[in-house]
Amino acid sequence: MTRKLFPPEQVDQVIEYELRDRDAQDLIPLDQWQSVQQITLAEKLYTVTEHRSRKYRDPKTGRIYIAPLPESISKGGLLGADMTAAIAFMKGRCHMSYTTIQTFFEELIQIDLSRGMLCKATHKVSKALDTSYQQLVERLPHESNLGIDETGHHNEGKLHWTWCFQTPDYSVFHIDKSRGSCVLIDILGESFEGIIGCDYWGAYRKYARLFGVQMQYCMAHLIREVRFLAEHSIKKLSHWGHDLLEWLKKLFKTLYRRDKLTAKGYLHSMGKIKEGFLSRMRRPPNHPLAKKLAKRFKGKAAEQYFRFLSDLEVEPTNNGTEREIRHSVIDRRITQGTCGNAGMRWCERIWTILATCKKQNRNVFNFIHESILAHWTDQCYPRLL
C-alpha cells in the first residue's frame, strides 16, 4: 500500500524530466506524468526577527523613552511561541532530556541553546498550561464515573506518588507526597457522588467507607490475585483458585457477548454467574490467603466488584487508567524523576494535556502553542472542556 501524494497546494516545487529529442523520436508526448514526491529539510530551519524599539529623548529633562514591544515579544524573549512550544513538545511528549534537546538544536537546527534557556522555556509553558489544567481539576468532583490509579514518582530522591484521574473525555495527573485517602479528599471532596473505578488499595476503601462513595474494584486485579492462588503449590488453594478462575472466565466471555444478547438475557446470565462465583468465593479452604480474599465478598461488600452489572457505563476493570499512567512511568524511567516543585507541576500539566488531547484527537503542539500565545497576550486560553 503506497502513501497518498501531497495535494498540489502543498507542493513547493515541481521539477519535470523528459526524454532527450533522439530518445523521444517517433513518440507522442502525453500530458501525463509519473510523480515521485520527496520530502527534504529546508537549508535553514528557523528565522530570526529583530524587533527594534526606537528611543526618544525628552529635550527638557533628558529622560529617555522607549517604544513598547508587543507583549508576545517582550514575554517570549529569545524564543518565540512556536519555538518554545517545540521545546515543550520534545521534553514532554518525546521524553527528551535537556541535553538531548540541546544536541538536537545544535546539530540539526544549528542553534546553540543553553540548558538554562531550555529549562526556562519549559517553565514558561508550564505556567501557560496551568489555566487549562485547573479547569479539569475543578471538573473532577462533578463526574459520574472516574477511573483512578497511582504510581511511584521520585522528586529530589524522595518517593512521591503520581495520581491519575481519568474519564472518557479527559485525564488529570497529580503528584503528591501521599498515597493516602487525603489526596482523594483534597481533589474530590467529601461529597463525591460518582462511581470510582480502582484497585483494592486501602486509600480507596477508606475514602469509600468515610463518605459512602460507590466503587467498582478492578476485576483485572482480582483475576491476578485468583491466578496466583490457582498456581499455588498447596493443592486446596490451587483447586479453589481454579474454580474461581472458571467463573471469572464465564463472566468475561458473557461480557464480550453483551451486544449479541438482549438486555434481559445479559443480566440473567450475568446474575447466575455472579451467584455461582460468590457461592464458591464464600466457601474458601482453611488457609489465611483464601480467607483474606473471601472476606472482601461478605454481604453487600461484594457489590463493589459487580457495580458494572447495574450501571452499563461503568467498566469492570481499571485497565483504561493503567494505560493512561503508562506515559508517566516511561518518563520516570528515562528522567529519574524531578528536582523540585516546579518540575512536579510541569509534569502534572504536560501529562494532563498530552493524555487529554489524545482522547479528543487534538494536535498537542497546536494546543501548547495556542496556550503560550494566550498566556503572553492575555487572550482566551484554549479549552479542553
Q: Which domain holds residue 295?
A: 219-314
pLDDT of residue 253: 94
Residue type, 38: Q
Residue pair 136/170 in contact (Cβ under 8 Å)? The answer is yes
In which residue are the cell numbers 462533578 written?
Answer: 142
Burial string for 301-326 (b: 16+ CB within 10 Å, else e) reads ebbbbbbbbeeeebbbbbbbbbebbe
Residue pair 353/364 in contact (Cβ under 8 Å)? The answer is yes
pLDDT of residue 300: 86
Indicate the number of domains in the chain.
1
Report yes or no on 33 lying in a domain.
no
Separation of alpha carbons 118 and 251, rounded Å: 52
Report yes or no on 250 lying in a domain.
yes
- Which cell numbers in the block locate residue 268? 440473567
Report yes or no on 276 lying in a domain.
yes
Report yes or no on 173 lying in a domain.
no
pLDDT < 50 regions, the chain: none
DSSP secondary-structure letter at 110? -
Report yes or no on 344 lying in a domain.
no
Q: Which residues pair with 175 in a beta bridge?
A: 162
Separation of alpha carbons 63 and 61, rounded Å: 5
* Three-class SS state of 76: helix
Report yes or no on 75 lying in a domain.
no
pLDDT of residue 351: 97
In which residue are the cell numbers 505556567 written?
Answer: 127
Report yes or no on 32 lying in a domain.
no
Separation of alpha carbons 331 and 326, rounded Å: 9
Report yes or no on 88 lying in a domain.
no
Separation of alpha carbons 271 and 132, rounded Å: 43
pLDDT of residue 336: 85
